[in-house]
Amino acid sequence: MHKPAASLLATLAAAALAAGASAAEPDWGKVAARKVTVFYPGVSPMEWILKGTEHGGARGMRKGEACTGCHEDETADMGKRIVSGQKLEPAPIKGKAAAIPVSVQAAHDGANLYLRFSWKQPAASGAAKQDADNQVKLAFMLEENRIEGVPTGGCWAACHADARTMPGAKDDKKTKYVVGGSLGGKYFDLLQWKAKGKPSDGYVADRRVADGGKALVSASGRLAGDTWTVTFTRKLSGGEGDVALAPGKSYNFGFAIHDDWSNGRFHHVSLGYTLGIDAKADITAAKQ
């Protein structure tokens, strides 16, 4: 007579254990959201950024000012000037979004980092699909203050004029890279979710490597109504090309959305931000 009750209890205990051991997303309703407006950057590689004759911010950058210090509140207007072809875009795509406001949330549970991005799907341009498989992709990069220029310039440190899809680029295999980059220290951790394809966990050092990382647990995304929500679960620890994350520390963080079936440089990007693990930063992942 006691037997069924005991085995039921055992089953419940086992289920509770299993749930505790596996990654469970936090209660997002309790996590503050930081608004970050990603914008269309056109052709604005690091070489353009630092060339004093072309970019008004070059001098300030050399003095250590960050992109966000000058531009954080105007990325939507920058995107408009660029996407229209008024500036920095030799091949404008009609109807492409200038900028996308994104809500970013982060939390951790001592074992995993959880990141959540949500945004309203902009109108489609109707242009030819560059990536016929994926309507949308979202990538983020992490870096631990080892690459020169990243605390101020974010992902731009990996964005160069000779990368594929840049006008006049000669090598269509050349992706983003870090000058002097190596897995020994100067690299960005790079994770990407794709609407259709498998998510990837790689890095950017002297070249971009799409896979091989050990930190990504899962990435998923869905469109509900007109709103996309993309969530990553990533171990705090990691392997080769993964930035190991520790409570009390903060890391350089940036992300990009490939909207409207786009590829390569035709993405919307964030300026450089910081992500803190239980540490004060632009975006803080607090323990839940």
Query: In whole angstroms, what is the distance from residue 71 CA to residue 55 CA?
Result: 13
The answer to whether 283 contacts ligand HEC (rule: CB under 6 A) is no
The answer to whether 161 contacts ligand HEC (rule: CB under 6 A) is no
The answer to whether 85 contacts ligand HEC (rule: CB under 6 A) is no
Pick from 26, 45, 153, 181: which binds ligand HEC (CB under 6 A)? 153
Do residues 100 and 268 touch, judged by C-beta distance below 8 A? yes
The answer to whether 166 contacts ligand HEC (rule: CB under 6 A) is no
Residues near 133 by Cβ (< 8 Å), separated by ≥ 6? 194, 195, 196, 197
The answer to whether 156 contacts ligand HEC (rule: CB under 6 A) is yes
Query: In whole angstroms, what is the distance from residue 273 CA to residue 38 CA?
Result: 12
Query: In whole angstroms, what is the distance from residue 74 CA to residue 273 CA?
Result: 15
Q: Minimal distance in Å, beta carbon 227 to ligand HEC?
A: 27
The answer to whether 78 contacts ligand HEC (rule: CB under 6 A) is yes
Question: Of 67 and 97, which has the nearer Cβ to ligand HEC?
Answer: 67
Site mask for ligand HEC (CB under 6 A), range 11-50, x = bound: ------------------------------x--x----x-
Question: Of 51 and 129, which has the nearer Cβ to ligand HEC?
Answer: 51
Pick from 30, 62, 87, 94: which binds ligand HEC (CB under 6 A)? 87
The answer to whether 60 contacts ligand HEC (rule: CB under 6 A) is yes
Interface positions, 241-260, toward ligand HEC (CB under 6 A): none
Q: Which of 242, 24, 29, 47 is nearest to 140 (CA)?
A: 242
